[in-house]
Amino acid sequence: MRWQGQQLGTADAAALPGLERLDGLVRSVTTPEFAGITFHEVMAKSALNRVPGASAMPFDWTVNPYRGCTHACTYCFARGTHEYLDLDAGRDFDSQIIVKVNVADVLAKELRRGTWARDPVMLGTNTDPYQRAEGRYRLLPGIVSALAESGTPLSILTKGTLLRRDLPLLRDAAASVPVSIALSIAVFDDALQAVVEPGTPTAAARLDTVRAATEAGFRVTVFLMPILPHLTDSISALDDALARIRAAGAARVVFGALHLRPGVKPWFLQWLGREHPELVSSYLGLYPGASVTAPKPYRSWLAKRVRPLLRVHGLDGHEEDDAPRRSAVPGLAARRAVVTTSRGRAAEEAARLF
């Protein structure tokens, strides 16, 4: 099917098996502009996802306009969420994208409720809000406007350079509500980035986005994570990354080692066996069985390596696990602040909120 000539309200009989579990499926769409990708457009019934009170997530509310992500990071924590739709956590996660086409309208209605307390809302907890599809669907402007008009603080975490499109809008929003922006940049070696995060913009392009957001007046956080054992954890790699982050004008850095969650580990190890077979046994040693995080000694070793480099480059920063569940970030200090940290852990829980 092509984009042109599509009418909302017609279901596509060619929709994938399993998508009958998606309430509100309107149509499934392919286009030459996105070769190999199918967008499944749905009419969402709700937009705001509440995070359970006991959750480790550092915020109470999320909005996720997309499920699946064409950025296709091999290590993506959210892969397992596609299995809830009877889609697989590998190629389907990268290529079968669920689009909540009415998310901004539904959100605006929810924000008008008298009970809405204007708690901060996080965008980008589960899949990337500025993935390539956003260039076509343009859902974020409506979401940002709805949040700002309702007096709701917001925080964005992305690998997408498309964020630059919305900087004027975000700057306007920041005049009325706290707005926090974070870019995720984990791999600064272009050859490695092209195979481990094949759908993402280059590190240089993302650093340009950090620069543009900084020039627009934001204090931008860079998530230097996940740091990949034996691939991106050398002193020279970390030094290069932090020097470039600093040069781009970022205000602070959050770093952390790779997490490998159930649903992700098999796909990541498959990739590793193909690209770096010499590292497979080492990774199996670091992430044995069902273990999700690298062992404490590795994380301590990594922190001892990164912290002095942060100081050398004059960067504020901390390890993902160092932040309290709720602490202030610039621009959100006056409210219950969104802490832009622990994305992997947070996202795992957010996945259950769809």
Which chain residues interact with ligand SF4 by CB under 6 A?
A: 69, 71-73, 76, 78, 127-128, 159
Nearest to 245 by CA among 189, 183, 193, 195: 183
CB of 115 to ligand SF4, least distance (A): 30
At closest approach, how far in Å is the CB of 343 from ligand SF4? 8
Least gap, CB of 326 to ligand SF4 (angstroms): 23
Find the shortest distance in angstroms from Cβ 157 to ligand SF4.
8
Min. distance of Cβ 235 from ligand SF4 in angstroms? 25
Q: How far is CA 319 from CA 30, 177, 269, 337, in A?
A: 41, 27, 25, 18
| Rounded distance between C-alpha atoms, residue 160 and residue 167, angstroms | 13
Cβ nearer to ligand SF4, comparing 129 with 229? 129
CA distances from 332 to 184, 200, 213 (A): 20, 28, 17
Residue 149 Cβ, how far from ligand SF4 at the closest point, in Å? 27
CA angle 347, 155, 265 (to 5 degrees): 20
CA distance 183 to 153: 18
To ligand SF4, the closest distance from the beta carbon of 87 in angstroms equals 14
CB nearer to ligand SF4: pick between 26 and 72: 72
Q: Decide if 143 contacts 149 (C-beta within 8 A).
A: no
Choose between 104 and 187: whose C-beta lies nearer to ligand SF4. 187
The residue (of 128 and 348) whose beta carbon lies closer to ligand SF4 is 128
Which amino acid is it at 143? I
Structure tokens, 95: 């290529």
Give the nearest distance from C-beta 266 to ligand SF4 in angstroms.
Answer: 16
Q: With respect to ligand SF4, which residue has the nearer C-beta, 76 or 146?
A: 76
Cis peptide bond upstream of 297, omega within 30: no
CA 113 – CA 22 distance, rounded (Å): 26
Q: Which is nearer to ligand SF4, 29 or 186 (CB)?
A: 186
The residue (of 40 and 159) whose beta carbon lies closer to ligand SF4 is 159
Q: Which of 145, 202, 129, 225 is nearest to 179 (CA)?
A: 145
Per-residue three-class SS string for 322-351: HCCCCCCCCCCCCCCCCCCCCHHHHHHHHH
For residue 62, list its beta bridge partners: 49, 122
Which candidate, 66, 105, 151, places its Cα nearest to that of 334? 151
- Output 159 or 252, the one with its CB closest to ligand SF4: 159
